[in-house]
Structure 1
Amino acid sequence: MEDWTQTLDAGPLLLIAAGAIALILLLIIKFKVHAFITLVLVSLLTAVMAGIPIAGVATTMIGGFGGTLGTVALLVGLGAMLGRLIEHSGGAHALAERFVQIFGEKRAPFALGIASLILGFPMFFDAGLIMMLPIIFAIARRVSSANVLLFGIPAAAAFSVMHVFLPPHPGPVTAIEAYDANLGVVMLVGLVIVFPVWYISGYVWGKFVASRNLLPVPLLFGDVDEDQPVNPPKVSTVIMLLLLPMVLIFLNTGLSTLGSMGVVDTTQAWAQALILIGNSSIALLITVIVATIVLGWRRGENGTALEKIIDSSLGPIASVVLITGAGGMFGAVLRASGIGDALSDTLSDLGLPVIVAAYLIAVILRIAQGSATVALVTAAGLIAPAVLVADFNVLEVAAITLATAAGSVFAGHVNDSGFWLVGRLMGMDVKTTLKTWTVQQTLESVVAFVLVLVVYLIGSLI
């Protein structure tokens, strides 16, 4: 694989990718083949059709699968344990009751979305969503409609918007470094656009799809019909548990950002220690341990009984983990085929305005190979030379940075592991996930681009 170079042009590679995606949808939706088997099979066929050397096919597939699972399995597993502890203790039910009591059923989706925006500032998308799921499910069950989409889409969209557009998340930080943008200006513009982007693509869209699709709350954290305990934890205790990983993760993202700016020496032992415990997986592990003590041992649950409660959380998420890993496998095969490089080389010669080119290149790369990070990094790398030599002011560069980030989130579908993560966690089939989450990601991208384009035009007048 190290000496192999792709000889096919962008046209044939695009046809192979389109055919592979169509085959996945056909097998899953029409012929009801299990998503895991479908993704593994189509990944194999795509690798062969794209001309990847036979000796490297299995390595590429396993590498993509393992690379995705390395993060997803830990986060989903630990998140499910935390969710099960909160659910079993009665904490989720107690918090849902208080939440609806304060905000009412009509305002509850909006309030939950705002809470997710706040929590999403330091937390990565997948970690934040996993952590909030028990609360999302509990509140969804509490209201009369009991529709998970009414709460799940606004909350998931909130984490996505924060992850895509605001430092210290890795996507915008990478683009800032590539374009030599001003961190403060990017942060300011990002803060201006995140609420309207979330309101349209998350809250309004979530209410719309919920009104047309009734999706019951999945039994991800156990049997909801079991009797609630007579001694549930205080609502404040549950809130503190939810805030704990947020604070820990902020240590990681905040210090890393300050280190990249030269404000903090992250090579120091104390900084390394804080960055370690702020890793998403480590932060969730610490939170699960604390929850085991606070919601388990201190409430009389111990020994085998507590072990069984935690163990019962892993069975329902096994399918989620495997399918998400297989989605990562498919994306890895497409990346290894060279389709991203071929498309980016073609698009970079179109002579478009820089901000439009940055957005469109990120969009095409996102659709073609699935990974938002790869789409953003590749697009920024291609456009950066033009940005660095041009006479753009700081506001224009910030707009170009966020436009690239906006393109990287466009229309997540079957080659994106996040597509499978959101769909399976919320109990959606592929067709429903396409109608809800894929469209949400498209709206998020387009609305954000329109807003940053306005900022760019304002900047050009200064």
Structure 2
Amino acid sequence: MTTDLLPTLHLLAASPAADAPAIPAARLVPAALIGIAVIVLLITKFKLHPFLGLTIGSLAVGAVAGVAMSDVIDSYTKGFGSTAASVGTLIALGAMFGKLLVDSGGADEIVDTIVGRSSARTLPWAMAGVGALIGLPMFFEIGLVLLMPVIFLVARRSGLSIIKVGIPALAGLSAMHGLVPPHPGPLVAIDALKANLGITLGLGVLVAVPTVAIAGPLFARFAGRWVDAATPELYSTPEDEEREGGKLVRRPSFGVTLFAVLTPVVLMMGKALADIFAADGNAVRTVLDFLGTPLVALLIAVIVGFFTLGRGAGMGTRALATSMEKSLPPIAGIILIVAAGGGFKQTLVDTGIGKLVAQWVEGSGISVLLLAWVVAVLIRLATGSATVATVTASGILAPLAAGMSTGEVSLLVLAIGAGSVFFSHVNDAGFWLVKEYFGLSVGQTIKSWSLMETVLSVTGLVFVLVLGLVV
């Protein structure tokens, strides 16, 4: 954008100081672009941790915009603290529940039950369902590692290509990661855009189901022809259910496990429905508003998990405590990245760049949902991180949400989420995890995994735009 296109955009920077002078638009645009470029360069070229990259990028935005460094630090720490408080606790609780699901054998029970009832024709669809169900409460990397032995054993037993079995499962897992809370990316976008979590969850599931069908079982038919890969010899025998030391002698049943997994989803959806159909002050709405608050819903899920998953698997108090302790270290880095993304977002907001983008989009006629997707795609391609793409795009587009309806804001979250999973390639850790586990070459990984992510992203955008016509 050149300066001769900006005279009509009269903007006051929303800095921490109430009487802060207006920052010229000609400085705001370069400030945002340079800040994003610094983050991308530090992460991709110098392999700096995203936490440091986002922190330095925030300082760069303020410096180029001409904001006092003390105000920049105030903005960053404010955004960091509020995001850590609102989203970090949810990530921690989600990690605890996911670890409990794995350690109790509940995840294995879900997988075995669904796969055991499927024919060769319906198996890819069943694997997509397994990936989505396992991905609902888990982080992508955890779900990926969990699904790998299942994918190998199913492919070997059924005689189907590992691509035809694995791609649907990974599509389900990735769709949950990008579109459905309580994953870090969607949670950050919900927090930054002030979206309703329950409505976003409901719309996210509506988008995810057909998206997974297209990017998973349907796309796998073609990917299986393009990539001829033998099933690796890893996990050649099923793991015995009894674990050493007698910590786990049985699994919770499928029904009990499903109940535990869906507990937070039902509570959050209940809150969303109550907010829509129940009047203010209604006793039922008051109760559901409390129980459906994300923090309370996930806390209840963990507690329910103690008795349904833990006790159902014969885990004692010591085993439960150990499971909870081991769940937190792996996600410490994720929480720092997410919180730093919140700091970067607040810096952008307080300089006024977000309002500038909002006014430009309003006068341009460009679809806000399409713009959100494109911004997330560009950052995803540059950094390789879906979470970084989501938090950065959310920060840039946050002011746009102010004048949108509740449903439209939720669709904005989903458009960003869809863009954040576009074309995973060599700068994405997930790319290398899939390549090494599946025993593929770089070219084969691109023709299967990377293209699947692209189909998932584009299909997700299409369904978001369709919903945008009626929401």
Query: Is the alpha carbon distance of 1:278 and 1:348 closer, same or farther for their aligned partners in structure 2, counting shifts above 3 Å?
Result: closer
For the residues of structure 1 that align with 2:121 and 2:145, how far apart are their CA atoms?
Answer: 16
Matched, 1:47 2:62: yes
**Distance across 2 between alignment mates of 1:46 and 1:302:** 51
Indicate if the aligned counterparts of 1:361 and 1:379 stay in contact, CA closer than 8 A: no
Q: Report the CA distance shift for 1:338/1:370 in structure 2 as closer, same or farther (over 3 A).
A: farther
**Gap change, CA 1:48 and 1:435, over 3 Å in 2:** farther
Deviation at 1:411? 3.0
Letter in 2 for 1:317: I
Kept in 2: contact 1:362–1:379 (CA 8 A)? no
Distance across 1 between alignment mates of 2:77 and 2:39: 19
- 1:8 counterpart = 2:20: no
Q: Which amino acid aligns with 2:96?
A: M
Q: CA deviation at 1:15?
A: 3.0
Return the TM-score normalized by structure 2.
0.65
Q: Is 1:87 equivalent to 2:87 in the alignment?
A: no
Corresponding residue for residue 151 of structure 2:
143
Q: Indicate the residue corresponding to 1:394 in structure 2.
A: none
For the 8 Å contact 1:42–1:330, the answer to whether it is kept is yes
Which residue of structure 2 lines up, in the alignment, with residue 284 of structure 1? Answer: 298
**How many Å apart are 1:378 and its aligned residue?**
4.2
The answer on whether the counterparts of 2:31 and 2:60 sit within 8 Å (CA) in structure 1 is no
Structure-2 residue corresponding to 1:390: none
Distance 1:339 1:412 in 2: 21
Unpaired runs of 5+ residues, structure 1, are 121-126, 164-168, 177-182, 215-223, 259-263, 385-397, 415-421, 457-462
The CA distance in 1 between the partners of 2:95 and 2:411, in whole Å, is 34
**Match of residue 173, structure 2, among 140, 146, 155:** 155
Q: What pairs with 1:399-438 in structure 2 (closer than 5 Å)?
A: 409=417, 411-412=419-420
User: What letter matches 1:7 in structure 2?
Assistant: I
- 1:34-73 alignment, distance < 5 Å: 34-73=49-88
Which of residues 275, 278, 281 is equivalent to 1:256?
Answer: 275
Partner of 1:324: 338
In the superposition, relative to structure 1, how do residues 361 and 32 fare at CA in structure 2: closer, same or farther (>3 Å)?
closer
Cα displacement (A) at 1:374: 6.9
The one-letter code of the counterpart of 2:107 is A
Give me the CA root mean square deviation: 5.1
Alpha-carbon distance change, 129 to 304 in structure 1, aligned in 2, over 3 angstroms: closer
SS of corresponding position for 2:363: coil
**Greater Cα shift, 276-285 or 335-344:** 335-344
Q: Displacement, 1:208?
A: 8.4
1:206-245 matches, cutoff 5 A: 228=243, 229-245=248-264
Residue 5 of structure 1: how far off its partner (Å): 4.4
What CA distance in whole angstroms lies between the structure 2 residues aligned with 1:249 and 1:79? 14
* Structure 2: segments with no counterpart, 5+ residues: 1-15, 153-161, 182-188, 230-238, 380-388, 423-427, 436-444
C-alpha separation in 2, matches of 1:67 and 1:428? 34
Q: CA contact under 8 A between 1:410 and 1:445: conserved in structure 2?
A: yes
Quick check: 2:268–2:294 contact (8 Å CA) kept in 1?
yes
Residues 329-340 of structure 1 aligned to structure 2 (within 5 Å)? 329-340=343-354
The structure-2 alpha-carbon separation of the partners of 1:242 and 1:423, relative to structure 1 and needing over 3 Å to count, comes to: farther
1:159 to 1:255, Cα distance in 2 relative to 1, 3 A: farther
Partners of 2:34 and 2:222 in 1: how far apart? 31
Contact 1:376 1:408 in 2 (8 A): no
Q: Distance in 2 between matches of 1:377 and 1:244?
A: 30
Amino acid at match of 1:50: A
The 5-angstrom pairing of residues 116-131 of structure 1 reads: 128-130=136-138
How far apart, in 2, do the equivalents of 1:139 and 1:78 lie? 21
Percent of aligned pairs with the same residue? 24
> Is the contact made by 1:175 and 1:377 (CA closer than 8 Å) also made in structure 2?
no
| Deviations 1:16-41 (CA, angstroms, capped at 9, x unpaired) | 33333333232222222222222222
What are the superposed Cα offsets for residues 156-202 of structure 1, whole Å, 9 maximum, x if unpaired?
42575577xxxxx979x9999xxxxxx9xxxx999997655554466
Q: How big is the shift at 1:55? A: 2.4
Greater mean deviation of Cα atoms: 78-87 or 96-105: 96-105
C-alpha distance in 2 between matches for 1:382 and 1:59 = 26
Q: 1:301 to 1:380 in 2, by over 3 A?
A: closer
* CA-CA distance at 1:102 after TM superposition: 2.2
Q: 2:349 and 2:218 mapped to 1: Cα distance?
A: 34
* CA–CA distance in structure 2, aligned partners of residues 192 and 250 of structure 1: 13
What is the letter of the counterpart of residue 329 of structure 1?
A: G
> What per-residue deviation string (whole Å, max 9, x for no partner) do you get for residues 48-86 of structure 1?
222233222122111221222223322221122212222
Q: Is the 8 A contact 1:140 1:151 kept in 2?
A: no
CA separation in 2, counterparts of 1:136 and 1:316?
A: 14
Partner of 2:288: 274
Is 2:324 aligned against 1:305?
no
